[in-house]
Amino acid sequence: TAKYCTTNDGKEKNISNVTVIGGGLMGAGIVQVAAQNDFDVVIVDKEDEYLQKCMVMVRKSIDRITKKKFPDEPKLASKFVNDTLNRIKTEKEPSVGVANADLVIEAITENLDAKWKLFEVIDKAAPKHCIFTSNTSSLPIFEISKVTSRPDKFGGLHFFNPVPLMKLVEVVKAENTSQETFDTLFQFSKDLGKIPVACKDTPGFIVNRLLVPYMMEAIRFVERGHANARDIDTAMKLGAGYPMGPFELADYVGLDTIKFIVDGWHKNNPDNPLFNPSEMLNRCVEMGKFGKKNGEGFYKYTN
Ligand code: 3HC
């Protein structure tokens, strides 16, 4: 059985209660995957409206998974859907949402102040044995953990979009993350049916550190006028076997997200040409073209 977190009195305790904070696209995916794999989940977000939107995303995605999993077994399918949904509770107040948590996964906006405020509050409210994680894609885990009394019980758990389909989880061992916490998170990722990989607390971890410069390089390619976006996408799909070309992927990830990541890296490493900003990307974001999520990025989307 899994090696799990240790309570104050030194007893091993299984992770059974997971609290996800932030019900956006990533949060919804994490909630779904945890609930599907028998964890009791609380999803915390500020407004009823966000919580409702999150549950709509979860329901739609479970329906898609269920159709594939139980194509000819309607009874099993509806049991799977109901069991999964019954494991999910919604909550607006972070301190209430973490009261029984064994593990917290933070997936709120990529803003260090906002994350600090949240972790300060929940550090006081969560049980002492509870492990804290962040799904951040661009902020250092150690920085985030500094405001808590438990940097040893703090690590990175980085999921990929779409969370229900993407098999990978990057488990990040920051400066103060204890080996026990890291092992627990590694095992937890396996219990979600994912394949974990280990990574230090380095900018972009593994995937984004390679993927973001690749997408930026593709944008610069178009800026130089050496090929158009559609042909580059076709080239990378048919010539390199990627499921999406760099522009489809950029739209899928969100152009605002990519700009946020690359601007942060550029600020900290102004001499690294891989992190140079792009005028074309900046213009898209200025014009509100964020990608698939709001109907237009490099491509237009009808639904
Ligand atoms: N939930 C449940 N099921 C889903 C789903 C979701 N969110 N999205 C797609 N599916 C299902 C579909 O229903 C479909 O099922 P079917 O085969 O029974 O019809 C199946 O998955 C395949 O979907 P599609 O036919 O729509 O599309 P594809 O075959 O092209 O696969 C994809 C979609 C898995 C997204 C594939 O294109 C892919 O792997 N793309 C690359 C994604 C990627 O690189 N993600 C990482 C981004 S970086 C990141 O997330 C990090 C962050 O920090 C920025």
30-77 pLDDT tens trace: 999 999 999 999 999 999 999 999 999 999 999 999 999 999 999 999
pLDDT of residue 13: 62
- Which residues are 90's β-sheet partners? 43
162 ligand 1 Cβ < 6 A: yes
**DSSP-derived secondary structure letter, 198:** E
Tokens 């609290």 correspond to 19
Task: State mean pLDDT over 199-203.
Answer: 96
pLDDT of residue 225: 98
* Cβ contact 165:191 at 8 Å: no
pLDDT band at 1, cuts 50/70/90?
very low
Calculate the average pLDDT of the chain.
Answer: 95
257 ligand 1 Cβ < 6 A: yes
Q: Going by CA atoms, what residue is nearest to atom 48 of ligand 1?
A: 160
ipTM of the complex: 0.92
Q: Which residues are the active-site residues?
A: 137, 158, 170, 208
Q: Enter the tokens of residue 137.
A: 């894609």
How far apart are alpha carbons 161 and 1 in whole angstroms? 29
For the chain, state the CA radius of gyration.
20
pLDDT band at 111, cuts 50/70/90?
very high
pLDDT of residue 138: 87
